[in-house]
């Protein structure tokens, strides 16, 4: 006579979120078989071989040692199950169904990959599963020890980190007690980006633009001949950005956990991401997608910097795919059965030469490009895309005197201090609404917080009516002017703030 089916709870990662998955297993005597149903992928299908070896190594009766007919159902059946995180729940459900153990699986979530010797290996998306458990009122998450500190960042859920199937059983059967993992929140920002703004010699005009970009979260476009420091300044931007708040760190950590990009032993991502995709990157690599959909570079740059060097060398369709996420701060990927939304609130830094050889209009070196080559090079940067950039900066070649000059020792710290003060003003201004920086303002917030005087109105009217400034450009001017005013610790936007914002915007 067949045993009653047993059931334990696990999870599936869908986009960036976790969804509950019930692991049901029926064990009966008959012709030996081990079947897994419920849309499993290849990694889940192969789990039965790992599970059999792990159970045998744990000195228990594995499925192949008896004439067991085993049927595993992963419900809901229409949700694709991927990865190796179902090894532990399937093994525990089998041991329950075959009456080799007894424990109460209620209000517990299980996940983990089994090695052949019964040890547990880490999995992706542990933070997402902990968030799901908290939201569903689940009391305990049992998962590999390597993932425990990451999942413990979420309050009101017991995170039990175990190193093996045997230890998990011992804890569940109350033979030993595994204490819940306590979160360890790092206080020091990880210095993943060692480039400092003080390394940049000269280019004071461009450094000022970087300061405004960092303070308000704006988009910036550098153009100029090779060797002027465009890439160096972009890489130095993280060195002047304020540290992530705990809420921002959780957002970024969740993304990197699902993508499997957390460093060994890393609990929390507490430095702002800096992503620099190669120009040959596809649109899927940049914006996300694939089957199953995975976050792309714009999502991996969430709350940080997306640096696109050699901007016109990217495929045109790749560049055009940036238009919607720049505006909305998120990207929606639609598939036949599901729609996924990934966050993408990043600062876009583009860098370009004026022509393929890089010396168009240069006084030092003649340009060798034809008019057709220059026209084709510039044509990749469409008007709608460039209209979404806030600041345009020409980066000229650096003279010897500037290159060998001494930089002020406190330049970086002073810039960071100014940016931090400006960000604090924005935090107070937008308290209670889901906006962190001036660049995220929509039209209602612009009308409320970006008022200006009559003299500024005359100036803006002139540029809008002449066609030099689009409606989108007008609103972006006001957001940049608001940031310039914040850096000056000014409550109101003054004429000089509008004039400076216009100076950065109106470039050929």
- What would the DSSP string read from start to end of 181-194? PPP----SPP----
d(CA 92, CA 71) in angstroms, rounded, equals 14
d(CA 446, CA 315) in angstroms, rounded, equals 34
- Hey, which residues does 68 pair with through a beta bridge? 29
**Interior CA angle at 151 toward 147 and 154, to 5°?**
170
d(CA 285, CA 322) in angstroms, rounded, equals 12
d(CA 319, CA 310) in angstroms, rounded, equals 12
For residue 507, give the DSSP letter: -
pLDDT digit string (tens) for 382-392? 999 999 999 99
Q: Where are the alpha helices (DSSP H) in 192-315?
A: 204-216, 230-236, 246-259, 283-287, 297-300
d(CA 213, CA 221) in angstroms, rounded, equals 10
**Interior CA angle at 292 toward 289 and 295, to 5°?**
40
Q: What are the E-state strand segments in 310-375? A: 330-334, 339-343, 347-352
Is the backbone peptide bond immediately before 76 cis, with ω within 30 degrees of 0? yes
What is the model's pLDDT at position 2?
47
Q: Give me the mean pLDDT over the 55-62 stretch.
A: 90
What is the model's pLDDT at position 110?
98
Nearest of 498, 483, 508 to residue 219 by alpha carbon: 483
- Reported pTM: 0.91
- Hey, which residues does 164 pair with through a beta bridge? 119
H-helix or E-strand containing 33? strand 33-37
Going by C-beta distance under 8 Å and a sequence separation of 6 or more, which residues neighbour residue 77?
37, 38, 39
pLDDT at 193 over 60: no
d(CA 430, CA 427) in angstroms, rounded, equals 5
Encoded tokens for 494: 């003054």
User: Given its phi and psi angles, is residue 455 left (phi above 0), alpha (psi -120 to 50 degrees) or beta?
Assistant: alpha
Q: What is the Cα 66 distance to its own chain's centre?
A: 47
User: Confidence band (pLDDT; 50, 70, 90) for 20?
Assistant: very high
Q: Give me the mean pLDDT over the 463-484 stretch.
A: 94
As a whole-number percent, the residues of the chain with pLDDT over 70 amount to 95
**Sign, CA torsion 98/102/106/109:** negative
Encoded tokens for 230: 């465009």
Nearest of 82, 66, 4 to residue 30 by alpha carbon: 66
Q: What is the Cα 238 distance to its own chain's centre?
A: 15
Encoded tokens for 42: 């290849």
Angle between helix 471-487 and 454-465 (nearest 10)? 150
User: Confidence band (pLDDT; 50, 70, 90) for 1?
Assistant: very low
What is the model's pLDDT at position 32?
82
pLDDT at 101 over 60: yes
d(CA 418, CA 464) in angstroms, rounded, equals 31
For residue 64, give the DSSP letter: G
User: Given its phi and psi angles, is residue 358 left (phi above 0), alpha (psi -120 to 50 degrees) or beta?
Assistant: left
Lowest mean pLDDT among 131-135, 164-168, 200-204, 231-235: 200-204
d(CA 352, CA 350) in angstroms, rounded, equals 7
What is the model's pLDDT at position 408?
63
């Amino acid at each position: 006579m067949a045993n009653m089916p047993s059931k334990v709870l696990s999870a599936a990662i869908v986009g960036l979120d976790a969804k509950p998955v019930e692991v049901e297993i029926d064990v009966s005597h008959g012709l030996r078989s081990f079947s897994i149903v419920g849309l499993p992928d290849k990694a889940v299908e192969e789990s039965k071989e790992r599970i059999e070896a792990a159970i045998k190594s744990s000195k228990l009766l594995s499925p192949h040692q008896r004439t067991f007919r085993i049927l595993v159902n992963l419900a809901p059946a229409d949700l694709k199950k991927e990865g190796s995180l179902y090894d532990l729940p399937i093994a525990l459900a089998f041991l329950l169904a075959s009456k080799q153990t007894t424990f109460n699986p209620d209000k517990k979530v299980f996940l983990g990959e089994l090695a052949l010797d019964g040890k547990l290996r880490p999995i992706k998306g542990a933070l997402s599963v902990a968030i799901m458990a908290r939201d569903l009122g689940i009391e305990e998450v049992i998962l590999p020890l390597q993932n425990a500190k990451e999942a413990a960042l979420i309050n009101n859920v017991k995170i039990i980190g175990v190193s093996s199937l045997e230890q998990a059983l011992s804890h569940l059967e109350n033979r030993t007690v595994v204490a819940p993992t306590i979160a360890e929140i790092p206080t020091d920002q990880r210095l993943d980006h060692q480039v400092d703004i003080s390394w940049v010699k000269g280019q004071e005009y461009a450094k000022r633009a970087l300061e405004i970009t960092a303070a308000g979260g704006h988009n910036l476009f550098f153009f100029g001949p090779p060797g002027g420091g465009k890439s160096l300044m972009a890489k130095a931007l993280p060195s002047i950005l304020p540290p992530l708040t705990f809420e921002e760190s959780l957002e970024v950590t969740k993304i990197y956990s699902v993508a499997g990009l957390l460093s060994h032993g890393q609990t929390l991502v507490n430095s702002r991401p800096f992503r620099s995709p190669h120009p040959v990157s596809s649109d899927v690599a940049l914006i996300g997608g694939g089957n199953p959909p995975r976050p792309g570079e714009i999502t991996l740059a969430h709350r940080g910097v997306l640096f696109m060097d050699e901007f016109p060398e990217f495929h045109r369709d790749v560049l055009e795919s940036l238009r919607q996420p720049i505006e909305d701060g998120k990207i929606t990927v639609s598939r036949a059965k599901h729609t996924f939304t990934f966050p993408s609130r990043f600062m876009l830094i583009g860098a370009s030469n004026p022509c393929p050889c890089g010396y168009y209009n240069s006084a030092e070196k003649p340009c060798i490009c034809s008019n057709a080559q220059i026209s084709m090079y510039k044509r990749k940067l469409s008007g709608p895309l460039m209209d979404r950039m806030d600041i345009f900066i020409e980066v000229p070649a650096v003279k010897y005197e500037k290159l060998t000059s001494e930089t002020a020792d406190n330049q970086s710290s002073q810039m960071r201090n100014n940016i931090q003060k400006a960000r604090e003003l924005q935090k107070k201004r937008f308290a209670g609404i889901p906006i962190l920086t001036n660049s995220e303002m929509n039209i209602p917030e612009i009308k409320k917080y970006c008022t200006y005087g009559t003299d500024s109105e005359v100036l803006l009217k002139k540029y809008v009516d002449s066609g030099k400034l689009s409606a989108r450009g007008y609103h972006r001017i006001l957001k940049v002017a608001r940031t310039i005013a914040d850096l000056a610790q000014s409550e109101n936007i003054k004429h000089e703030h509008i004039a400076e914002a216009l100076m950065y915007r109106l470039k050929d």
